[in-house]
Amino acid sequence: MENAKIAKKLVAVMNDCSYVSKNGVNSFHHYKYATAEDVLQKVNESLTKNKLATVVQPSIASFSDVTNLKGNTEHLATVIVEISIIDSESGETVDLYGIGSGQDAGDKAVMKAQTAAIKYAYMMSLCIATGDDPEADTNTDENNVGDKPVAKTVTSRKATAKQPVPKETIAVCCGCGTTISEKVLNYSVSKFGQPLCMDCQKQASYAA
């Protein structure tokens, strides 16, 4: 069986990381969530214990400027990551994929998107349970939720390293934090310039 040795080790990792405690609190939507630090710390401890190394290769799928309901311009980035897990003993490798979006008024949009992509690549591939929806940035929530929800795109920039979205990927709605499918992601980005779930797309259409 191909990759049998690394598969056995990944089963051990999945067992170690079957559940991650929710230590983060979203003060805007009032719920707890598992932070990226919580997930990465637990996954890293198990990976190193099982002598598995990782190499992360991120690429920017899209980058645009959006206007929030307060009239301020923010940057919205979507990042795809490929995580190669390498067995230091057998040399066998397994690749994981993830996609994440991040919005920020400063220079942290790409970093937020990359962190989210890595977190959800591990959570989905290793079946990590938290029992909640993806977290949302409180400042972004406050700027985008009101009488007329959801921001509209004002300018777009060509992606610096655009690549096709892998089949086994997930995305997160930048309006409410809900996980959305690749089909919904592609439609939303083409029409609204940002990843939105179906409900937030309807709200964006009303606000337009």
pLDDT in tens, 147-189: 444 444 444 444 444 444 444 445 666 666 667 777 777 777 7
Nearest C-alpha neighbor of 156 from the set 92, 73, 90: 73
Q: Cα 124 to chain center, whole Å?
A: 11
pTM for this entry? 0.62
Mean pLDDT of 7-24: 90
pLDDT at 55 over 60: yes
In terms of residue numbers, what domain contains 10? Answer: 4-207
Residue 185's pLDDT is what?
74
Nearest C-alpha neighbor of 176 from the set 153, 152, 208, 201: 201
Coil vs helix vs strand at 84: strand
Residue 101's pLDDT is what?
93
pLDDT in tens, 71-114: 889 999 999 999 999 999 999 999 999 999 999 999 999 999 99
Mean pLDDT of 182-197: 73
pLDDT at 61 over 70: yes
Whole-angstrom distance, CA of residue 26 vs CA of residue 28: 6
pLDDT at 128 over 70: yes
Lookup: tokens for 16: 């170690």
Residue 41's pLDDT is what?
92
Mean pLDDT of 18-25: 82
Amino acid sitting at position 43:
V
Task: Give the chain's mean pLDDT.
Answer: 79
Residue 152's pLDDT is what?
43
17 against 70, higher pLDDT:
17
pLDDT at 124 over 70: yes
Residues constituting the chain:
208
Share of the chain above pLDDT 70, in %: 72
Domains in the chain: how many in total? 1
Residue 155's pLDDT is what?
41
Q: Cα 168 to chain center, whole Å?
A: 13
Backbone angles phi, psi at 69, to 5 degrees: -65, -15
Which of 45-49, 53-57, 152-156, 162-166 comes out lowest in average pLDDT? Answer: 152-156
